[in-house]
A and B are shown apart, each in its own frame.
Chain A
Amino acid sequence: MRERESEQDVLQSAPSPRAVPVEDVEALLAHLPAWRLSWANDGGWMTRGEALLSATSGANAAVVFVHGWGGDAGGTWEDFQGNFRVLSEARTTDALFWGYPSRTPTVAFCAAKFREFLADLLDAPAPSILNPSLPPGAPPRDDGFRYSQITLCAHSMGAVIARRAMIDLEREGKLGDPRPIIRLLLFAPAHKGSNLPLMLASGFGLERLLPATLVGNFLRLYFRSLNDLAVGSDTLRRLEEDCRALRVSLENKGEDVGHLEALVLHAENDHVVEQEPFDDDPPFTAVMKQNHRSICKPDDSYREPLEVLRKLL
């Protein structure tokens, strides 16, 4: 242990190298303090999520982040949350980190709840989601506020949930009028199926310590709902069939299908999900030196996720 003097050094408040002080807080911090994401029609479904809402008067876009099996809004998107504040393109964009119980309910059920959430976000975001998620003292948004652009950013199982919700909203005609620009950005999506033992191991973080396949195989006995994500499952087969049928139908009518086609990133060291193409998605971006977990965690040396998001904003 170092001597007490050294500990004292730590306690001294020393200025650190950083930006020049700016008097105007709003000019420096385009977003309000992060606050708990609340949804008026939640009904006790959501787990802890977070809203990082734009402090500017020109807010017009939202990015909704959807974690995967065993993840959570904080852990999965930690690095996105940290980086969102410093993206200049995101100054007028709200970030909503959606949390949900992923381990027990079926994929279909999770997707149905997410569809309801999105319906509110499209139809009446201010009273149902944004104003309940504002930190104290922040001015409320007008009840008539609508987004002009929404990006769904999902990881692993979250991609299946996002796609299912999008398809069902389109079928119900609830994508808003006028419909905002909606885009999908998917990290290591499980929409073509997954290796279930490894998915379980990844969801629990086992792979850091233990032989993942071995323990994951035993865990399968306890988490049967995950079978929805098996390669060739009814859930995934129907998802792709529905997506294809809907896309073809819209294309025949000359309508936009951007909300059904996803930008996809797959990782070199991801052995959890299948990396085959889904319906008519453009070819995926192959990310080197990342794995199933780290692909959605940008840092100083791994910037691809932020660059892709930046282009969408």
Chain B
Amino acid sequence: MDPFTRAGLWRIAVACGATDEDVSTGDPAAFLVSRWLQAPVDDWFNDLYLFQDLLGERSIRSTCWSTSWLGLEDTGPLPFIRFAGFIEAGIRFGYLDLVGFAARDELRVALERWNLGDCARRGVTGLAVSLRRRLQAGAQSLSEPRDAVGVAAFESYMRLDESVRRDLDLREFLTVCHSERPHAKTDAIFLAKPEFFAEAVATRRVRRLPVGGQVAGGLLAVRALERLSRLLGGLGQREHLRNTLILHALWAHQVDKVFDRIQQWVLRAQEWSSDEGEWSDYLVGTVVPLVDLQRDLGLLDSDWHPAQLVNPTIFVDPEGTSPTEVENAISNKSKQADYAASQGYANEALNLYAEAGRLWAEHLNYEIIDEKAKNSMYRYWFLIKQIRNLGDKDTAAALCAVAYPELQKLTASELHHEREIVEELMESLRRPRSSERFDKALGVAATSDPGTIQQPSITPPRVRVVGATSSSGSATAKGNN
């Protein structure tokens, strides 16, 4: 065995938990045999059939990640899978040459002892299976051409993998991303204000509420994934090597779950300030390449696309005021709001629904004269109901008042069972209230006079259009100027 491989084997052993004392024993083959290759398989977790069941179950349910499955844990077969993956990757990158490795038969037997399956099982055991085949094939498969670039890339990857493994905050963040526990409510605590976010980063608390290391861990995850993406990008046309690293980085699998959560942070932070940081660069340089690579390998959990959430048109008014442009903007905001609501971000969802409602009230307050106008009114009514269902009756009532006559017609002719809701909302305007969202969305000065029905300052325009897209010029009237 060449000296580089000998030292490289020790380096991998250290990455998998070997200590300085272990290293001082001198012979990596003897150490590996005693540590992993001849270890008894006698406890319940090490039961290979149970292991197989776990993998099978989780694969079928598309939830192969749980709190115990980042691939970095020191329990059960995971260290061995990680170790075997390093060996296989090390050979592919030219870091190791196993031709002279004294314990290769023991390694093969150990790999055969585990029922790893014949397929990649969503990448969990893929490299270990490859190593088993390689060892079974014999000496001609135990080395591959070696060059400095490949060796350097493998060392970079090991360094990154180790840093992820060592950092408990980062692991905590990833674990929660992959768990089935909803994190939106916890995240909402430190995302409420920028000072809370800073406090959580620095102290792991928000006021007296512990939030753990997830916030700092999330930022570290962002950096780790950026490093991984750069590393993969640096491999250029070496697709085989790129795929090897993706398969080994179990902690980065189903990265859609991680990016989805991070995007929620970005979305929330955009309410603090219009400065969105370097998110768009990060999207292009890290998110999109990693998601695409994992999608190609079937490692994503969903058909997730970052553009769904970060669509710049969502956060600005439509470029023009033609019905089509406004309808598109409303549609975008509504989708965004639906998504935010489904993730538990009620406040963000309310703001977005209210924004969509404001756009409609200002630009598209059609008189119902045809099907298109009626459909538009349906969408507006849906927005109002969503806002009401999320608990902001004041804003819902204000939007209702803007188009009250038309909503009366709608509920009289078709939505009979919802007429009560319209009336209930109008009735609610008679009582005192104050809603910031209401004011912001409609520009209405709240009054505390309980005796009067508050009339929004928007004077509902009455725009007659024959089809919402046919007459952009006639639909530009704004009621509140």
Contact = CB atoms under 8 A, between A and B. Distances in A.
Contacts of B476: none
Contacts of A72: 163
A48 B159 CA distance: 10
A212 B11 CA distance: 38
A79 interface: yes
Interface string A2-26: 1010111011111111111110011
13 contacts: A2-B298, A7-B297, A11-B126, A11-B129, A26-B4, A78-B156, A81-B152, A82-B155, A137-B3, A209-B262, A211-B272, A212-B277, A219-B202
B150 A18 contact: yes
Given A210-B266, A214-B272, A218-B199, A74 B163 contact: yes
> Binding site of B, secondary structure by majority: helix, strand, loop or mixed?
helix
Contact of B152 (A1, A11, A75, A82): A82
Interface stretch (A113-121, A148-156, A199-207, A252-260): A199-207
Given A1-B298, A221-B198, A7 B163 contact: no
A3 to B, nearest CB: 8
Interface string B78-100: 00000000001001101100000
A35 interface: yes
B238 interface: yes
Contact of A29 (B127, B151, B195, B230): B151
A136 interface: yes
A286 interface: no
Given A206-B219, A218-B195, A222-B198, A86 B4 contact: no
A7 B222 CA distance: 27
A7 B298 contact: yes
Contact of B197 (A18, A30, A32, A210): A210
B150 A7 contact: no
A34 B11 CA distance: 8
Interface stretch (B139-147, B447-455, B465-473): B139-147
A205 B123 contact: no
Contacts of A2: 296-298
A212 B144 CA distance: 46
Interface string A139-177: 000000000000000000000000000000000000000
Interface string B232-252: 011011101101100100000
Given A136-B23, A137-B7, A16 B240 contact: yes
A130 B14 CA distance: 19
A25 B220 contact: no
B179 interface: no
A305 to B, nearest CB: 15
Contacts of B277: 206-212
B211 interface: no
A300 B234 contact: yes
A135 interface: yes
Contact of B278 (A12, A138, A207): A207
B343 interface: no
Contact of B4 (A1, A25, A214): A25
Nearest to B95: A33
Interface of B: 2-4, 6-8, 10-11, 14, 23, 26, 28, 88, 91-92, 94-95, 119-120, 123, 126-127, 129-130, 133-134, 141, 144-153, 155-156, 159-160, 163, 166, 194-195, 197-199, 201-203, 216, 219-220, 222-223, 226-227, 230-231, 233-234, 236-238, 240-241, 243-244, 247, 262, 265-266, 269, 272-279, 281-282, 296-298, 300
B146 to A, nearest CB: 6
A283 B300 CA distance: 49
Tell which of A17, A30, A72, A211 has the most Cβ of chain B within 10 Å: A211
Contacts of B163: 48, 72, 74-75
Interface in A209-241: 209-215, 218-219, 221-223
Contacts of B238: 16-18
A183 interface: no
B85 to A, nearest CB: 11
B269 A211 contact: yes
A205 B144 contact: no
Contacts of A26: 4
Tell which of A17, A210, A211 has the most Cβ of chain B within 10 Å: A210
Contact of A81 (B94, B159, B220, B265): B159
A83 interface: yes
B265 A210 contact: yes
B269 A33 contact: no
B160 A74 contact: yes
Contacts of A30: 148
A261 interface: no
A138 B8 CA distance: 11
A42 to B, nearest CB: 14
Contacts of A29: 4, 146, 148, 151
A48 B164 CA distance: 13
A78 B147 contact: no
A19 B11 CA distance: 24
A299 B152 CA distance: 13
Contact of A78 (B129, B159, B247): B159
B155 A205 contact: no
Nearest to B279: A209
A2 B338 CA distance: 29
A81 to B, nearest CB: 6
A62 to B, nearest CB: 19
A28 B279 contact: no
Nearest to A222: B202
A191 interface: no
